[in-house]
Structure formats: C-alpha cells, structure tokens
Structure 1
Amino acid sequence: MSPPGAVRHATGTVRSAGGSTRAVTRTLSDDPLGGTVRRTVLPNGLRVLTEAIPTMRSVSFGIWVAVGSRDETGPQAGAAHFLEHLLFKGTHKRGALEISSSIEAVGGETNAFTTKEYTCYYARVLDEDLPLAIDVMCDLVADSVLEAADVETERGVILEEIAMHDDEPGDEVHDLFARAIYGDHPLGRLISGTADTVTPMTRRQIQSFYRRRYVAPQIVVAAAGNLEHSAVVRLVRQALLGTPLETDAAAPAPYRPATPAVRTKAATTLVEAKETEQAHVVLGCPGLDRLDERRFAFGVLNNVLGGGMSSRLFQEIRERRGLAYSVYSYASQYADSGLFGVYAGCAPSRVDEVLELTRAELARTAADGITEAELARGKGMSKGSFVLGLEDTGSRMSRLAKGELLYGDLMPVNELLDRVDAVTLDDVNSLAADLLSRPMSLAVVGPFGESDFTG
C-alpha cells in the first residue's frame, strides 16, 4: 500500500501488459521545498524522472537498474558488481579512456555503485554539459562490449577490492552480521562476491546476466538540477537509438514485491578470528521491511538509541565510560525484510563490558521506552537530516530514483516531514517493546574464537 498523501504514478495504457505505443508524461509535484518533478514512461517501459531546479547551475544524472546482488544465484555471486565495473571499459562508440576523459574534460564526475537490490550509474556536470553526460552514460549502460581482455583486467581489480575489504574489519563485521541474520540467502552474501565465485566467472556468464537483467522496464533514469524535462526525455531517447535498449512496447516492471517475506535465521553468534588491535562487534536482530508503516517510528527510535552523539548508546559507552571510540545503531531495509544492529569498536579486553552495556540499554528501552524529550530530539534529527540531505542535486536525483524503484511512489518532502511529526510516543515505545525484545544475533571480528561468546 502506498503511504497516505503520496503522489501516485500515471496509470492506464502505460501499465498494461503490452505497454504503450507512446510516451506518457505526468507532473508528479510542484514541491515548495524543491522543484517541479515530472515523470515520463517511454513506450519500451523505461522511466524518466526529473526535478527542475532553475537556481542550480549543475545537474546530476543517474541511470538506476532494479538489479542487485540479491538477484544472483550462488555461482553468480558478484556478477552485478563485476558488471558495474565492466560497463566503464568501453562501448561500440567509445573506449574506456574516452568515457572518463569526455566527462572530466568539462569538470564533471562519473561513478557507479552496486547494492543488494539495485545498481546506479551517475554523472554530475554543469547544466550546459548535460547532453554530453546523457549520451555517455546511456551509451555505457546500454551498449557495453564487455571485451574478454577487460573481463580479465577487472577480475584482478575486483579480487584486489575483495582483499582490501578483508583487511577492513570495521566493514567486514557488517557483512558477517548480515550472514548471521540471513544465512545463505542472497541478502546474506557479499555484494562483491568472493574470490571463489569471481575467479571462475566467465565473460559469457556476465554477458548473459547483462542482457537478461538490463532491460528497459527495469531501468529508471533520474536527473535533478537546471534542466528541462522534455529536453532530457528527448536526449535519452536519442542516446538509446540503435542500442539493445531500443525495444518493443512494454510496461515498466513493478517495484520489487514484498512477499513472500525472507526467512531469517534463529539468533546466532558468528566470529571471524583475526589478530586485530580492536574488536569489532555488531549486535542486532531482524528489523522492518521498507514499506512497513512503522518505519518512521523506527527512524526516531534508531536516532534515540545510537543515531548521534546525544544518543543513549554513545553517551553511555563512549562519553561516560570511554570504552569505545565508535558506537552507533543502524537499520537496513529491503523490499521484504530488514535488520537492526548496534556497532561498536573497542579494545578486545573491553568487548564483554561493551556488549553487556549494549544489551542492558536495549532491554531497558524495550521495557521502559523513551521519553518525550527524546521523542522530540529523535524527530528533529530525522527531519533535519532529510532536509539537509537535499541540499545538492545528487541527493535529489537519488530521491527521485529510489521513490520510483523502491517505493512505487514519490512522497513529497512536506508529506514526509508530516509523517515524522505524526510519530507518537506510543508508536515508538510499542515498536521498541517488539523489536528490542527479539533474540539478538552477534557478529564479531577480532582476536577471539566462537567459544569466547558462549553462555
């Protein structure tokens, strides 16, 4: 169900099984806290969303594909990330150097990232250079050649990236925690894959993944800044002519369904034994899925527990006792699942005390809830961080794409702020009593063994 007050998308022939034979454009919002947002669905099912902000002199342009690491089979683990690397290596029109140099020559920047549920390719340029950015980015996403030599080169780069990640225990512990919650499910696997899956992966496998997954109905183009929507649509259509994305009429793919829910593992402890100077721990449990109506209360609760320097965990563990330099709580939300965790990095000799204090604080919050003052502070943090995060074109572009890909709706800024304001003390305390009383899993990276955390 869409959140109350959310802006609905155009329906009708565009959503029909066979798609539409014409582009359909709608104005989604004229937000007083932003610009005019428009959405066009092309005949092939590809969607284009823009936010026109005439006061800016830059534009952020992104191509978002509803494909991530959770869409891989076990032997394919790492394919989405491998492909992200390869698309910058050359197309039928441009080599790798021309892709990067053409954008850098005008002072722009390009990059990409892969997540568990989507992949994004983006560029940020001056408004006058938007046509160049659209042509280059559409070209590399739609028409990469995936040369065999480039596959081997990037394989080496990715294996080094995996090795580098293994040398960062503060990052590794979060992946270990995901595995504790999800086990062998794709949400519990590394986005990058492992050396065992990346090493034998062939060009043919990657090419097959590319052509089966990178299809127009799964793609959202988003842009924000000083632009004209019609010009962006025209340039995108132009850039895709003659590429594999110039396809027959189709309807946009629906956003990733939330059912059936992912089955999580029973509470467990996973330890990665390493001779590190610090112990890195994450304690937590399954959380909320992305469309859970309690997600706004969840954001407030997370802020109160470990969302900043005034949070309960930071004050107790770092400020009062000096047991850890870094301590915070966080949430990850997916279409059909989610997780909640508390991270701390501390001396190995202090890990038992840190875990004891963390468990005590979670139990206290579950039993007694939070205060009115904490509620107000948590709501203020949620609203402030959201609005301040919209101060650049990149974050606005991301908001458009995520609304389309992940929620099926774009919630206006004022509506989102109202939803946070509407969170009550009972909402947060009821959620705390449910969430924080769940059995907790523990992930540890440091100089320990499994037996150090039994009993």
Structure 2
Amino acid sequence: MLCRLKSSTSVLSKARMATLVATEEFPYNVTVTPKVSAPAVIKANKLASGVQVVTRTNNSSTVSLKFAVLGGSSTEGTAKGAAHFLSHAAFAGTQNSTGLKLVKHLETLGASFESHADREKIVYDVRVLPDKAEAAIEAVVSAIASPPHAAYVLEEIRAKAQIDYNKFAVDRSAQLQELLFEAAYGESPLGSSRLAPNLKKLTVADVLKYRAAHFVRGNVVVVGNGIGQEQLEAAINKSVAALPEGPAVALPASTYVGGDVKVRTDLDGASLFGLAFPVPAGDAGKPFKILNALIGEKLASQNVCARNFIHSFAAGGIFGVESGAPQHLQLVADELKAIAAKSPSIDAVKQKLTLEHFLALEGADSTGSLLSAHQRGVAAPAAGDLRSVTPEAVSAAAAAALKANPSYAVLGATTGTPTFAAISKLLR
C-alpha cells in the first residue's frame, strides 16, 4: 500500500517565520528572474602544431577535460600491453618533476583526475574549476610532453599495472569479452587483447619505443566542456612547445570476420557463453543501437541470467549478448528472427536512447561523448540522436545480423557445449 507523506518546509522572511504544509499555497509575492542560458556551442579545430582541439561551451560551473593520445592497444605491435602500462604512468611525473609533486600540484588546484587506456587511445581525464583550468592544462600537457624515462620509475609502474591484471584474472565477464573480440576480429589489431600475455616480459625499451611514436603533437586530441575554444587553444599553444613534433598514428584496419573461440578453465563446472554480430560505422550503425536495446528488453522480460552489450569503434563495432546458458542464445536468435520478420515498435526505445545520449552530452562525462564523436568524424549531438531511425531500418539490421558470420565464445567447461556450426544453424 502506498502511503501519502505530509512534509513541511520552513520559510524565513524578514517579517516572520512560518512552517507551511507542502501542499499549502505560498503566501508571499515573489518575483523570480530565471537566468537565461546560452545554447551550447561545439567547435573543433586543428592547431598549427597538429594538436586537435574540441570544445563544448556552456554555462557549466566546472571544466571537464580529456587529453587523448591516439592509438591504444590496436597500434602496439610487438609492444603488447604498452598502452595499458602507460595509462598507469600518466601522472607518474615528468623529467623535471616527481610524480608526487605533479599529483600534489593537481590536488592543490582542486582537480579530480584519472587515466585509462582502451583499444583506440590513452586518456588523461581532468575536472577542475574554471579559474584553475589553465594551470591544470599546463600540468597535464607537461606530463604528456615530458614523461619520466628512468627505468626504476617505469618498474614501479609495473607493480601498479599488475593490479589490473590480477582483477582481470578473476573477472569472467571481462575475459569473455576479450574472447569475443578475438572471435570477431581474428588476428587483426582489434582482435588482440588490451593486456600483455605476460606483463613481466613487457620491457622498458618496448614501452619507451611505443611512447616515442605516439606521444607527439599530431597524435593528441584535447576535448573540453565548460571552456571556450579560444581559451583552450591559447592554453594548449602556451604549453605545446614541450611536446615533440610528429604526425597522427594511423589506426590499422581491423575487418570483422566472425568465428569461434573456446577457452577451457575451471568455473566449478559452469560455462559462460558470448554471441556477437557486426555493427557498421556511422549512421548505418544507428538501427543496431535500437536493436541491441530491444534484445536487452527481451532478456530482461524473461528474467534470464544474461546481459546485452554494444561496443563502437571508428570503423564499426559489435553488439551481442553474454550469458550463463546456451538456451539464452536461442532466445536471442528467436528475437532477431521476429524483428527481421516484422518491423518492431521502437518509438519509446529510440526516444529513451536519444535522451540518454543528450544527458551524457550535458553530464559529468560529456567529454567522453565529444571525444567518441570526434574520433568517428561526426557531430556529437547527431551521433546518438536516433529519432530518425525507422522500424524498417531496425528490422533490416536484425536481418543483417542473422546473415552475418556470428562471433561465438565459450569460457569455462567447454565439453558438450554447442559447436560453432550449431550456433550458425540456430541463426538461419
């Protein structure tokens, strides 16, 4: 039974203080003048130095910044694990300053900061109040331009990086996702793991070689929210001289191929299953976002132990499901067939996904949306606006998924699990 709670609010005026029931009409004449906010403006420019700058100007009380060194794990070659390693070295200091001094300086500015790496980039993430933004920019550019070279510093980083390896060793979902990437992209760069096969064998020389090739002016993108384009460009130009010259690193091609990967490991007799399909790049991939959401709704309605996902890259991506039972893959196949046969009702789903996109663009991690859109060469507002997607386009996306060579992964007890041929037949 729902209860109706009676709340009260204390209202203080110069004349008197009164406690009013929340439903009571406010007795005073108050004139409210709302602040008119200017529309957000997104700008992008490539500086003479080669650094790319993207900003979203609004009336935010904070400044969010992302400094992306392009490449990530997909451009490591034989230096496998270097990008992840360097993400842990992001705030380890400079050639003229210790990591402790750099961190203390950022903390003195009141900045919040972190770093991470993925298959396409290494990211320095900073949030700060507007009046401290330029000082924070100078500190981070210095960290990127003049990182420590001392072997002992990098060896200390190895211990920090090992923590992620230890977490990955017990994260079955993360392991299954890596298997799906291998099944989807084979031996191409996107199919390769983000982590080194053996962190101890990743040499300091390999890390420094990767860093020398990637930490250059033409390979850096700086994204800001809550800061003007001119202000950010001026701050970058003031500090960029310390950054070595060099061109952008081209992301190697990774063609979706599909296939299967099974890894036997002890999960107390259990198995995890993953099934994924290709997603085209650009606007052609928008119907697949809605299709992925519809699959998620179907799984949720059946209350099964399964999770849907979608991963996007500059050249496309994959979507699919991971589950604890092969019967759930049958459920996905049946839903894809049903959507392919009859255009689904998508009005509510596409409105919700579009709303989530705009909330993200206006939220604390807006720079993530801006950076992702910039890497894909599209305008950030349009990147996640799905309102123009038609039911017929989603139906066609389901049909395309059924025709594609699927990516199938099994982790755990592999004996007796469905074969790749059986999974392929399930989808036909």
TM-score, normalized by the shorter chain, greater than 0.5: yes
User: What's the secondary structure of 2:231's corresponding residue?
Assistant: helix
What SS is found at the alignment partner of 2:409? strand
Q: Shift of the alpha carbon at 1:41?
A: 2.5
Match among 174, 177, 196 for residue 180 of structure 2:
177
**Alpha-carbon distance change, 452 to 407 in structure 1, aligned in 2, over 3 angstroms:** closer
Report the CA distance shift for 1:398/1:296 in structure 2 as closer, same or farther (over 3 A).
same
The residue aligned with 1:7 is none
Question: Higher relative CO (CA 8 A, sep ≥ 6), structure 1 or 2?
Answer: 1
Distance 1:211 1:280, change over 3 A: same
Q: 1:312: Cα distance to partner?
A: 1.2
Unaligned runs of 5+ in 2: 1-36, 423-428
C-alpha contact (below 8 Å) 1:224/1:393 kept by paired residues: no
- Aligned equivalent of 1:339, options 305, 315, 318: 318
Q: State, as a whole percentage, how many aligned pairs show the same letter.
A: 22
Letter in 2 for 1:232: L
**Contact 2:75-2:251 at 8 Å conserved across structures:** no
3-state SS in 1 of match to 2:54: strand
Amino acid at match of 2:350: K
- Alignment-derived partner of residue 9 in structure 1: none
- Hey, what's the Cα distance between the residues in 2 that align with 1:222 and 1:158? 26
For residues 215-262 of structure 1, the C-alpha deviation after alignment (integer angstroms, 9 at most, x for no partner) is 21111111111x333222222222223x133x4xx8x749858xx661
Deviation at 1:185, TM superposition (A): 2.0
1:381 counterpart = 2:352: yes
Partners of 2:216 and 2:45 lie apart in 1 by 17
Q: Which residue number corresponds to residue 203 of structure 2?
A: 202
- Structure 1: which amino acid aligns with 2:414? G
Structure 1 match to 2:72: 68
TM-score (norm 1): 0.77
Is the 8 Å Cα contact of residues 257 and 405 (structure 2) preserved in structure 1?
A: no
Query: After superposition, where does 1:361-376 map in structure 2 within 5 Å?
Result: 361-366=335-340, 368-372=341-345, 375-376=346-347
Most deviating of 295-304 and 354-363: 354-363
Q: Distance in 1 between matches of 2:214 and 2:249?
A: 14
Distance 1:330 1:434 in 2: 17
In the TM superposition, 1:404-415 aligns within 5 A as 404=374, 406-411=375-380, 413=381, 415=382
Q: 1:130 is matched with which residue?
A: 133
Secondary structure of 2:319 counterpart? strand
- Superposed, which structure 2 residues align to 1:55-454 within 5 Å? 56-73=60-77, 75-195=78-198, 198-225=199-226, 227-241=227-241, 243-245=242-244, 247=245, 253=248, 256=251, 262-265=255-258, 267-276=259-268, 279-285=271-277, 287-291=278-282, 293-306=283-296, 311-316=297-302, 318=303, 323-324=304-305, 327-344=306-323, 346=324, 351-366=325-340, 368-372=341-345, 375-395=346-366, 397-404=367-374, 406-411=375-380, 413=381, 415-416=382-383, 420-446=386-412, 448-454=413-419
Distance of 2:61 and 2:38 partners within structure 1: 18
User: 2:213 and 2:257 mapped to 1: Cα distance?
Assistant: 29
The number of residues matched between the two structures is 384
- One-letter amino acid of the structure 1 residue matched with residue 293 of structure 2: N
Decide which structure has the larger Cα Rg and report it.
2
The TM-score normalised by the length of structure 2 is 0.82
Paired residues of 2:84 and 2:195 also in contact (CA < 8 A) = yes
Distance 2:254 2:138 in 1: 39
CA distance change for structure 1 residues 104 and 210 in 2, over 3 Å: closer, same or farther?
same
The 3-state SS of whatever aligns with 2:352 is helix
State the match for 1:48 in structure 2. Answer: 53
Asked if the contact 1:313/1:361 (under 8 Å) is kept, the reply is no
Corresponding letter in the other structure for 1:425: P
Provide the secondary structure at the position in 2 that maps to 1:89.
coil
How far is 1:370 from its partner? 4.1
Determine the C-alpha separation between the residues in 2 that align with 1:401 and 1:278: 39
Instruction: Give the alignment's Cα RMSD to 1 decimal.
Output: 2.5
Q: Could you say what secondary structure the match of 1:298 adopts? A: helix
Inter-partner Cα distance in structure 2 for 1:70 and 1:106: 34
- 2:276 alignment partner AA: G
Kindly tell me: are residues 37 and 398 of structure 1, through their superposed partners in 2, closer, same or farther at Cα, counting changes over 3 Å? same
Read off the aligned partner of 1:36 and give its amino acid letter: V
Output the CA distance in 1 between the equivalents of 2:330 and 2:372.
38
Shift of 1:64: 1.1
Q: Please tell me whether the aligned partners of residues 189 and 254 of structure 2 are also in contact (alpha carbons under 8 angstroms).
A: no
The 8 Å contact of residues 262 and 414 in structure 2, kept in 1 or not, is answered as: no
Task: Give, as a single letter, the amino acid of the residue that structure 1 aligns with 2:255.
Answer: V
Q: Distance in 2 between matches of 1:69 and 1:179?
A: 14
Distance (whole Å) between structure 2 residues aligned to residue 51 and residue 159 of structure 1: 36
Which residue does the alignment assign to 2:27?
none
Question: 1:26-83: CA deviations, max 9, x gaps?
Answer: xxxxxx99522333432121122222222x211011211221111111x311111112
Instruction: Structure 1: give runs of 5+ residues left out of the alignment.
Output: 1-31
Work out whether residues 270 and 450 of structure 1, in 8 Å CA contact, stay in contact via their aligned partners in 2: no
Deviates more, 1:153-162 or 1:64-73: 153-162
Relative to structure 1, the CA distance from residue 361 to residue 229 in structure 2 (aligned partners, 3 Å threshold; closer, same or farther) is closer
Q: Note if contact 1:35-1:52 (Cα within 8 Å) is conserved in structure 2.
A: yes
